[in-house]
Structure 1
Amino acid sequence: MKSLKKYSIPFTGLKLGKHLFEYDIQDDFFDEFEYSLVKKATLHCEIELDKQETMLILNFKIDGTIETTCDRCLKPLPIQLDITEQQIAKFSDEEIDEDEEIITLGKNDHEIDVAGLIYEYINVAVPFISICGEGNNSVCDKEMLDKLKSLSANGEQSEQADPRWDALRNMNK
């Protein structure tokens, strides 16, 4: 987690107004998070921090490429990301309802950690299903698809009905 320290923005010394912070996000960023969906990435993150008297407004712009695997053939699959998000952080000693998507900063807080937010925005942008040929020009690995087809065909043929289950199947009839 020490490598994520650079993603903490100290806001106490900043003047009121807008400030720009830039980060290059590589593979080592995702190594810090256990069970990360993303393992390889080349991303650029710009954060525009608008400091006001009672709150911070963080505007995130993340773009670049992540590498995932095709769900059909397991071939490495690059995916282009273009993410725009906004986060509000209010200065308050009281906790704000969990329903609101607002970060609460106390009077003792002097910096805001944006690593978790960046990680969350990237993972939410990863497609639920990634398949070669959908959205890009690459085609699934034919050799792998043939191998999977031969394995699944053999599995169906070798599976025989177990006579012990026949009595249970007839109970609902």
Structure 2
Amino acid sequence: MKSLRNYSIPFTGLALGKHHFDFDVKDDFFDEFDYSLVKKADLKCGVNLEKQETMVILDFHITGTIQATCDTCLAEYPQQVEIREQQIAKFSDEEITDDEEIITLSKNDHELMLAGLIYEYVNVAVPFVTSCGDVGNTQYCDKEMLDKLKSLSGGNEQIDNTDPRWDALKKIK
């Protein structure tokens, strides 16, 4: 978890106004999370922070590639991602429970931990169904694996595996 400390912004010393921060999100970042959908990545995360009197507005722009596995041929390929998200953090002594979109910052807080947010945004951006063909370059699809899957599926052949007990019941009609 120590490497995740690099993904924090100390906001107490920042002047009011806009500030920009850049983070590199690589494989070691995702190694810190158990059960992550993403294991390998090469991402750039830009965060525009606007500090106001009562709140902090964070605009995330994450671009790069994640290593995905094709659901058709099981080959690994680089999946391009571009993510734009916004997060609001309010200064308040009371916990805001009504709105899950707003982070509450107390007087004791002095930095924003962004690792959880970045992790969540990237994992949500992973396509539900991944395919090498979506990349636009079919060189990633494993032709040998596709041929093997086609041969194992049996093609159009129908195997007659009917249970003789069902044949006896059909005669009752």
**Normalised-by-shorter TM-score class:** 0.7 to 0.9
Q: How far apart are the structure 2 equivalents of 1:62 and 1:148? A: 36
Q: Residues 159 and 124 (structure 1 numbering): CA distance in 2 closer, same or farther, change over 3 Å?
A: farther
Q: Which residue of 2 is the match for residue 82 of structure 1? A: 82
Q: Which residue of 1 is the match for residue 40 of structure 2? A: 40
Query: Given the alignment of the two structures, is residue 97 of structure 1 paired with residue 97 of structure 2, yes or no?
Result: yes
1:12-161 mapped onto 2 (5 Å cutoff): 12-139=12-139, 140-153=141-154, 160-161=161-162
Name the amino acid aligned to 2:52.
Answer: Q
- Residue 112 of structure 1 and its aligned partner are, at CA, apart by 0.9
TM-score (norm 2): 0.86
Cα deviations by residue, 1:79-117 (Å, 9 ceiling, x for unpaired): 111111110000111121344410011111111100011
Q: How far apart are the structure 2 equivalents of 1:8 and 1:110? A: 10
Q: Residues 55 and 159 (structure 1 numbering): CA distance in 2 closer, same or farther, change over 3 Å?
A: farther
Q: How far apart are the structure 2 equivalents of 1:96 and 1:160? A: 62
Q: How many residues align?
A: 168
Provide structure 1 residue ranges, at least 5 long, that are not aligned to the other structure: none
Residue 134 of structure 1 aligns to a residue whose secondary structure is helix
Q: How far apart are the structure 2 equivalents of 1:110 and 1:163? A: 75
Name the amino acid aligned to 2:11.
Answer: F
Q: Residues 146 and 107 (structure 1 numbering): CA distance in 2 closer, same or farther, change over 3 Å?
A: same
Cα deviations by residue, 1:135-171 (Å, 9 ceiling, x for unpaired): 41125211101212233339x978945567x5xx99x
Q: Which residue of 2 is the match for residue 6 of structure 1? A: 6
Q: How far apart are the structure 2 equivalents of 1:76 and 1:27? A: 15
Provide structure 2 residue ranges, at least 5 long, that are not aligned to the other structure: none
Q: Residues 16 and 163 (structure 1 numbering): CA distance in 2 closer, same or farther, change over 3 Å?
A: farther
- Residue 69 of structure 1 and its aligned partner are, at CA, apart by 0.7
Percent identity of paired positions between Structure 1 and Structure 2: 68
Q: How far apart are the structure 2 equivalents of 1:131 and 1:159? A: 34
Residue 128 of structure 1 aligns to a residue whose secondary structure is coil
Runs of 4+ aligned structure 1 residues displaced above 3 Å come to: 156-164
